[in-house]
Amino acid sequence: MPDNALVKMSASALAFLVVACSRSTPATGGAAASSPSASAASVATSPGLDAFLPDIAGPFQGEPATHRDPDPWVRRIYARGKARVNVTLGSQGGGGKKAFERWVSMSIAYPQIPLRAPPDEVNGFFDCRADDAGASCDGHIHFRSGLHLELFGGGTVTRDQLLALIDGLPIEAMAARQGDD
């Protein structure tokens, strides 16, 4: 059973995630037409964050990407069979060492995502419905530069499937992107 400090930290992390993830839409239904973000979104045509979400990521095929400016984010749904993952990459600002250290301290209560980039540049964790690897999972990855990557499977993907998708994303290039320090 976690101690009170860990419970408070987990509650803070959850509050952060609710705010940080509020722009995402369910993976099973695509972008909701009624949301303000979706109505302002358009098919990604400009260079930028959309370059980090390729057409194919691991065994998953990407649907057309959407993006929004001036609050920059790019979103793409990746599908493989019945598995659908809504992947959103955005810049949260607030990059730098201290903000990243806060993220890492909040994320340690969760199962960590193994990433192919320096741990002082990127950290991620799984948010699973159960403790076993066969349970459905979502993923949250934060970069020291201020980039933030959300992967929501809406109950359709396991941890292993999510890892296969993440392995197909250019995590190293995202980590190398310059941000605030």
Q: What is the pLDDT of residues 80-115, one digit of tens each?
A: 999 999 999 998 766 788 999 999 999 999 999 999
Q: What is the DSSP letter of 136?
A: B
State how many domains the chain has.
Answer: 1
Identify any residues that bridge with 38 across adjacent strands, giving them in sequence order: none
Domain assignment of residue 181, yes or no: no
| Predicted model pTM | 0.74
Q: Report pLDDT for 134.
A: 75
Listed as own residue / partner, the contacts of 98-104 with beta carbons closer than 8 Å and 24 or more positions apart are: 99/146, 100/142, 100/143, 100/144, 103/142
pLDDT band at 15 (very low <50, low <70, confident <90, very high): very low
Q: What is the DSSP letter of 51?
A: G
Query: Which residue did the predictor score with more confidence, 132 or 1?
Result: 132
Structure tokens at 13: 């992390």
Domain assignment of residue 161, yes or no: yes
Domain assignment of residue 120, yes or no: yes
Q: CA 100: distance to chain centroid? A: 15
Domain assignment of residue 98, yes or no: yes
Q: What is the pLDDT of residues 35-79, one digit of tens each?
A: 333 334 444 433 488 899 999 999 999 999 998 776 789 999 999
Torsion of CA 123, 18, 131, 62, to 10 degrees: -70
Domain assignment of residue 111, yes or no: yes
- Alpha carbon distance 143, 123 (integer Å): 7
Burial environment of residue 47 by CB neighbours within 10 A (0 to 12, 13 to 18, 19 or more): exposed
Residue identified by tokens 């990127």 is 122
Q: Report pLDDT for 94.
A: 64
Q: What is the DSSP letter of 168?
A: T
Q: What domain range is 24 assigned to?
A: 4-176
Q: What is the DSSP letter of 94?
A: -
Domain assignment of residue 139, yes or no: yes
Domain assignment of residue 90, yes or no: yes
Domain assignment of residue 25, yes or no: yes
